[in-house]
Amino acid sequence: MDPLARYDSLVDDSAAFHAACERPLPSVVRVNDIKATPDRVRRAFDEAGIDYEGVGWHDGLFRLAEDVKPGNTWPFVHGWVYGQEEVSAVPALAVDPQPGERVLDCCAAPGSKTTQLAALMDDRGLLVGNDNNLGRLSALRSNAERCGVSNLVVTRADARNFSLKPFSGEPFDRTLVDVPCSCEGTVRKNPDAVDDWSLDHIEGIAGVQKAILGRSLEVTREGGTVVYSTCTFAPEENEAVLQYALEEYDCRLVEYDLDLDHVPGITEWDGDTYDESMTRAKRIYPHHNDTGGFFCAKLEVGA
């Protein structure tokens, strides 16, 4: 049985949901504003005869024609663009970092969202990109360097025990918590993403997610912003993790704007009920916008 069938009761149109999950995903690039503008990237693609189209909700994202390998184009060589799934551009926008602020990306590698945060900060202020895996950190560093990011500190730590010591003990203004997850929403890119699906795995990884979100709330200042995101549908990894944070920490869910079709977070699942404010979180299903699947919630610390 298809493990994704467990979400049929959540989606508005389960046939469209399953059909979208079967289709391959278009290749998308994000314009890196540190080095280029959408206009200049468009012009470079035109000069090179590369077919692309814009997306309605974001002027710096381009869907490329099927035969285009973005890594083999001048705009990529110059660090003007970054290959990034369309929905994965959502959480950095929800973080909404400002130039000059102190921002943490606690599960940063390989860096699509980190480099997007840097660009939103106009490459000014302090951005910390943390990960615990040395190989993935090396990818993060090389991606950040290609994008010309110069405000990034790279650290290696388990995000459950992230230390403020190198940062004079000062908390962050904003933290992105894009946790490791069961990746059900990436099934269009990796058809085998749900092959080894098990509830045990989901419950195990949810424990890690709770600890990472908890530590992130501790290292973010009062009144600061924490954005929690996954690329999975499982409520155990989404609303249930947020419910834990609401119960154990001084924080609340807040609204944010998103010009992409989505539905609210849920308040009931499998016999459990969640806080009413869970509807401020956003669920994006693959059939909504012809993208991957995603979950994203914005929290305010204390206050």
Contact residues for another protein (CB under 8 A)? Answer: 34-35, 40-41, 43-44, 47, 71-74, 77-79, 123-126, 129, 137, 141-142, 144-146, 148-156, 166-168
Instruction: For the CB of residue 136, give the shortest distance to another protein in the complex, in Å.
Output: 11
Residue 160 vs residues 39, 50, 213, 230: alpha-carbon distances, Å: 41, 43, 8, 16
Instruction: For the CB of residue 55, give the shortest distance to another protein in the complex, in Å.
Output: 20
Backbone angles phi, psi at 176, to 5 degrees: -100, 125
C-alpha torsion sign, points 53, 56, 58, 59: positive
CB-wise, 44 or 208, nearer to another protein?
Answer: 44
Rounded Cα–Cα distance for residues 89 and 129 (Å) = 16
Amino acid letter, residue 297: A
Instruction: For the CB of residue 269, give the shortest distance to another protein in the complex, in Å.
Output: 39
**231 belongs to the catalytic site:** yes
Rounded Cα–Cα distance for residues 286 and 236 (Å) = 19
Backbone angles phi, psi at 134, to 5 degrees: -60, -40
CB-wise, 151 or 186, nearer to another protein?
Answer: 151
CB-wise, 91 or 111, nearer to another protein?
Answer: 111
Q: What is the full DSSP assignment across 135-183?
A: HHHHHHHHHHHHTT--SEEEEE--GGG---GGGTTPPEEEEEEE-----
DSSP element (H, E) containing 130: strand 126-131
Instruction: For the CB of residue 180, give the shortest distance to another protein in the complex, in Å.
Output: 19
Residue 17 vs residues 4, 10, 265: alpha-carbon distances, Å: 9, 10, 17
Rounded Cα–Cα distance for residues 18 and 6 (Å) = 11
Instruction: For the CB of residue 252, give the shortest distance to another protein in the complex, in Å.
Output: 30
Amino acid letter, residue 188: R
Q: Out of 106, 231, 251, 296, which one is annotated catalytic?
A: 231
CB-wise, 24 or 49, nearer to another protein?
Answer: 49
Rounded Cα–Cα distance for residues 268 and 278 (Å) = 10
CB-wise, 41 or 299, nearer to another protein?
Answer: 41
The three-state secondary structure class of 284 is strand
Instruction: For the CB of residue 188, give the shortest distance to another protein in the complex, in Å.
Output: 27
CB-wise, 151 or 229, nearer to another protein?
Answer: 151
Catalytic machinery residues: 231
